[in-house]
Amino acid sequence: MEPKIELKENKNGLLWPYYQEEKAWSASSLTEILKQIEYGDLQIPEFVLQIAARNGKLFHQIIQEFIQNGPDSATPTDWKVSEKVRQKLHETISFIEQNRQILNSHCFLGSERLHHTFYKGVLIATYTDLEFEDYIVELKTNNIKMHESPLTLLTFQIQLLIQHLCTKKEVYLLWSTGNGVIFHQFQVSDSLLKVLDTLIDLVKKRDEYSLVKKKEIVKKILLDYSPSRLISLD
């Protein structure tokens, strides 16, 4: 008998799966401890977060519409974004136009599609940026320097892994840096799956473990499974 999954509307208006009244875990909930260790007590001003979220949302919408509707949907004069984001939009659209054999709109299924699955008894879920018949594409506009942070990179890797597990498809990264586009196929590894298992255990025992204990576990993760070995952006 198939488990009964319920879809409930979140505060942001998006549907999210629940099983036995328990909310599905996302990449964000699974990597919360990594962000907590990375940033500590650093408080980023709310207006900065809002601007970043707005620019990121508009970038995604414009690229998604371009894939769906073609060149006529890309009107730079209508882009109400920062100059940095505008540059990233131009280079991303140019890359897509030059690689139509890869990013084929005829195989495009849609954007912001919800997927969920059970992984070792835990319900996990994700939304996809761009979904094609045989693969999905994750859009990123983060600063290229994020590659220098092991914790940030590991957080990113877990997000891609969750997408792969939920969709059962290949995952590609389309990363616009402002100085060129990185297009990279994500590789699943046994070591990264072990990291995910450890993070799941951390979340399950978050009320039992002290912050010191959590930091020790994360430190061991980074020593045993260096994120630099999990992805190459060369």
CA distance 226 to 220: 10
Provide the b/e sequence for 143-163 (b: ≥16 CB within 10 Å): eeeebeebbbbbbbbbbbbbb
CA distance 54 to 57: 5
3-class secondary-structure state, position 54: helix
- Asked if residue 107 belongs to a domain, the reply is yes
CA distance 153 to 211: 21
CA distance 151 to 137: 22
Neighbours of 172 (CB within 10 A): 19
**pLDDT for residue 206:** 87
Using the structure block, give the residue that is written with the tokens 């995910």.
Answer: 196
Structural domain that includes position 79: 5-229
Supply the DSSP string of 20-47, one letter for each residue.
TTEEPB-HHHHSHHHHHHHHTT----HH
pLDDT in tens, 21-75: 899 999 999 998 888 887 766 666 777 778 777 888 888 888 888 888 876 666 6
55-61 own/partner pairs: CB under 8 Å, 24+ apart: 55/81, 55/82, 55/85, 55/141, 56/141, 58/85, 59/85, 59/88, 59/89, 59/139, 59/141, 59/176, 60/111, 60/129, 60/139
Instruction: State the amino acid at position 92 in one-letter form.
Output: T
- Asked if residue 64 belongs to a domain, the reply is yes
pLDDT in tens, 145-169: 666 678 888 888 999 999 999 999 9
> Which tokens is 154 given?
């590991």
- Asked if residue 133 belongs to a domain, the reply is yes
> Which tokens is 16 given?
């999210």
pTM of the model: 0.87
* 98 CA to centre of own chain: 24
Q: State how many domains the chain has.
A: 1
- Asked if residue 156 belongs to a domain, the reply is yes
- Asked if residue 234 belongs to a domain, the reply is no
Highest mean pLDDT out of 41-45, 83-87, 216-220 = 216-220
Which residues, at least 6 apart from 18, have a Cβ–Cβ distance to it below 8 Å? 5, 6, 7, 8, 24, 123
CATH number at residue 93: 3.90.320
- Asked if residue 96 belongs to a domain, the reply is yes
**What does DSSP say about strands 170-176 and 135-140: parallel, antiparallel, or unpaired?**
parallel
Instruction: State the amino acid at position 10 in one-letter form.
Output: N
pLDDT in tens, 164-201: 999 999 999 998 888 888 888 999 999 999 999 999 99
- Asked if residue 103 belongs to a domain, the reply is yes
The band of 230, judged by pLDDT with boundaries at 50, 70 and 90, is: very low
